[in-house]
A and B are shown apart, each in its own frame.
Chain A
Amino acid sequence: MASSDGALARLHQASKSYGKVRALDGVDLALRGGELLALLGPNGAGKTTAIGLLLGLLRADAGTVELFGRDPQAIQARRHIGVMLQDAHLPATLRVGELIRLASSYYPTPRSVQESADLAGVADLLKRPYGKLSGGQQRRVQFALALCGRPKLLFLDEPTVGMDIEARQKLWAAIRHLVAEGNGVVLTTHYLEEAEALADRVCVMARGRVISEGSVDALRARVAMKRVRCSTQLPIEIIAAWPGVVDIDREGTRLCIATEHAEAVVRRLLALDAELSGLEVRAAGLAEAFTELTRDDAVASLQEAA
């Protein structure tokens, strides 16, 4: 049963400490159907703890944790979810088909083994022992186990680690397919392009707190820095001295100017250099936004400590 605002799972003011370390500090998080939420953050930010709470692997010290309106430790709640953890070993001597068959048996109305295998792209591996597969193939098998029970909510922890580009693209397509069917997905990843390609919503965590939440575009927009590139005769030292220019670099024949006031800089460039060519203005990518956000947070923590 979903709660009134359509959230399939939620953390409300959830906190969790390990000894003196506060792994999670009053976090609010809602997971909805038909939406992919990317959970980003440096190591130790609290992503794994947040997921551990939602899966019922950990107990919150304070706050509430709900999975389909229930305690995540209730098996009825977990029958709606599929899970792919970061480093889970599966029995090496079992065949891929046997592993899918076993995981399917936990759910009330699972997909057929063949359907799960097709979706995850492991149909050609069904007879192979799990231990004989490559790392990327094992990840795909784990993905098949996550989706075999027709879950309404999928937890994917670093799903594409060890995959080659083609396998990664296939997995992305499968994830998009599941989201389009109306299922919710929670994704943690170190690959920002993965979040950029898939996420409807991005939640950046640092030091046990959510420091930013919103769409990929909204997150990018939070970083005002833009990059202006162009080929120009103007001397680099002159441009560097302009107000609003934060940084300037030579990239081959072009200059790359970092500024928060792209319009003013471009106007000035065009006014002074009629010959200017190859002009390009770009907003920060998710990677830059992420670096910026987590750096700000690190600075804030230093100031707090001082």
Chain B
Amino acid sequence: MSTLAMPRARVINAYLEEMRSECLRYLRNPGFMLPTMLFPTVFYLMFGVFLARQGGEAARYLLAAYGTFGVMAPGLFGFGVSFSMERENGMLTLKRAQPMPPFAYIAAKMAMAMVVAAGVLTLLVLLAVFVAHVPVTGRQIAALYLANVPGVLPFCALGLLLGTLVKGQGAPALINMIYLPMAFLSGLWFPVTALPRALQQIAPVLPSYHLNALALDAVDIVQVQALPHVAMLAAFTVAMSWLAARRLRKVG
């Protein structure tokens, strides 16, 4: 009996099983799925469909902005709340004792957040096309998915960091206090230029502002250079993950 080598295929299988479990687990959890799916769709229905004046440009703007708003939640809540709960209730401890591949836990949560983000986005697109009759092309919709589905990752990293700061029940409150102001200050409900000048300065440090720029570009509201925004989002993701890892090493 020497050390059992784990064939690569089985390691990959462990990652896939972890992702499968994480997705199943949350898709069956109405306490997570309902608010995550309904908040952005109901907001969009109210402000983007019923209350919005007709017109292609405004309707596309709102679709992109609510898309950004919608994908923030699975990252922030899916990661932050579940991570802080699992730190408290012993599940993370068990996983650390089991021979789970070290990044499977994080990778599974990221996969889950992206699946849910794609789900939210799909609901919004369906509402936009079939209820609001927003004039969007197939190419614009594809570009929106391309921006917003991976765009959930910086919010996963932020959620991870927040999850290391609070344990258990405190997490949802803390995350809401960050989620909603962040959406507001990034111009997801009305353009940043409509905000007081002082508040406008904050937007460029928020990941939601950069993600929204990519989303607006996707539906041809604005034309932006993608690279600087992608770089900002990537840097934000790395910084948050690094802070979270550092804090975890300290507090466990």
Whether a CB of chain A sits under 8 angstroms from the CB of B231 is no
Q: How far is the CA of A101 from the CA of B6 in the complex (A)?
A: 17
Contacts of B25 in A (CB 8 A): 91, 93-94
Q: Given A68-B3, A79-B4, A85-B97, do A106 and B21 touch, yes or no (CB 8 Å)?
A: no
Contacts of A70 in B (CB 8 A): 3
Query: Are B91 and A55 closer than 8 Å at their CB atoms?
Result: no
Instruction: Name the CB-closest residue of B to A104.
Output: B17
Whether a CB of chain A sits under 8 angstroms from the CB of B176 is no
Whether a CB of chain A sits under 8 angstroms from the CB of B181 is no
- B82 to nearest A CB, angstroms? 9
Query: Are B21 and A75 closer than 8 Å at their CB atoms?
Result: no
Whether a CB of chain A sits under 8 angstroms from the CB of B2 is yes
- B21, B94, B102: the one within 8 Å of A94 (CB): B21
Q: Name the interface residues of B71-104: CB closer than 8 Å to any CB of A.
A: 86, 89-91, 93-94, 96-102
- Looking at A86, A103, A106, the one whose CB has the most chain B CB atoms below 10 A away is A106
- B80 to nearest A CB, angstroms? 17
Q: Name the interface residues of B95-119: CB closer than 8 Å to any CB of A.
A: 96-102
Q: How far is the CA of A86 from the CA of B2 in the complex (A)?
A: 30
Q: How far is the CA of A156 from the CA of B1 in the complex (A)?
A: 23
Instruction: Name the CB-closest residue of A to B25.
Output: A91
Contact with A along B1-27 (1 / 0, CB 8 A): 111111100100110111011001110
Q: How far is the CA of A55 from the CA of B28 in the complex (A)?
A: 32
Query: Are B93 and A108 closer than 8 Å at their CB atoms?
Result: no
Contacts of A79 in B (CB 8 A): 3-4, 6, 99
Query: Considering only CB atoms and an 8 Å cut-off, how many residues of chain A contact the other chain?
Result: 39
Query: Are A1 and B102 closer than 8 Å at their CB atoms?
Result: no
Contacts of B89 in A (CB 8 A): 87-89
Query: Are B24 and A98 closer than 8 Å at their CB atoms?
Result: yes
Contacts of A1 in B (CB 8 A): 1-3
Q: How far is the CA of A56 from the CA of B99 in the complex (A)?
A: 11
Query: Are B99 and A105 closer than 8 Å at their CB atoms?
Result: no
Q: Given A89-B89, A89-B90, A152-B1, do A83 and B21 touch, yes or no (CB 8 Å)?
A: no
Q: How far is the CA of A212 from the CA of B3 in the complex (A)?
A: 33
Query: Are B21 and A91 closer than 8 Å at their CB atoms?
Result: yes
Chain A at the B interface: SS class: loop
Contact with B along A75-115 (1 / 0, CB 8 A): 11111110101111111011000110111011111000000
Query: Are A57 and B97 closer than 8 Å at their CB atoms?
Result: yes
Whether a CB of chain B sits under 8 angstroms from the CB of A149 is yes
Q: Given A57-B97, A83-B98, A106-B99, do A76 and B14 touch, yes or no (CB 8 Å)?
A: no
Contacts of B6 in A (CB 8 A): 76, 79, 107-108
Q: How far is the CA of A78 from the CA of B14 in the complex (A)?
A: 15
Q: How far is the CA of A86 from the CA of B102 in the complex (A)?
A: 22
Contacts of B18 in A (CB 8 A): 102, 105
Contacts of A75 in B (CB 8 A): 99, 101-102
- A106, A108, A152: the one within 8 Å of B5 (CB): A108
Instruction: Name the CB-closest residue of A to B4.
Output: A108
Contacts of B102 in A (CB 8 A): 75
Query: Are B98 and A78 closer than 8 Å at their CB atoms?
Result: yes
Additional A-B contact list (7), CB under 8 Å, known A80-B4, A106-B100, A107-B99:
A2-B1, A57-B96, A79-B3, A83-B98, A85-B93, A91-B25, A93-B29
Can you list 14 A-B pairs with a CB-CB distance of less than 8 A?
A55-B96, A56-B96, A57-B97, A76-B4, A78-B99, A85-B90, A85-B93, A87-B89, A89-B86, A91-B91, A94-B25, A106-B98, A106-B100, A149-B99
Per CB-CB distance, the 3 closest pairs between chain A and chain B, nearest first, are A105-B17, A89-B89, A93-B28
B residues at A contact (CB < 8 Å): 1-7, 10, 13-14, 16-18, 20-21, 24-26, 28-29, 86, 89-91, 93-94, 96-102
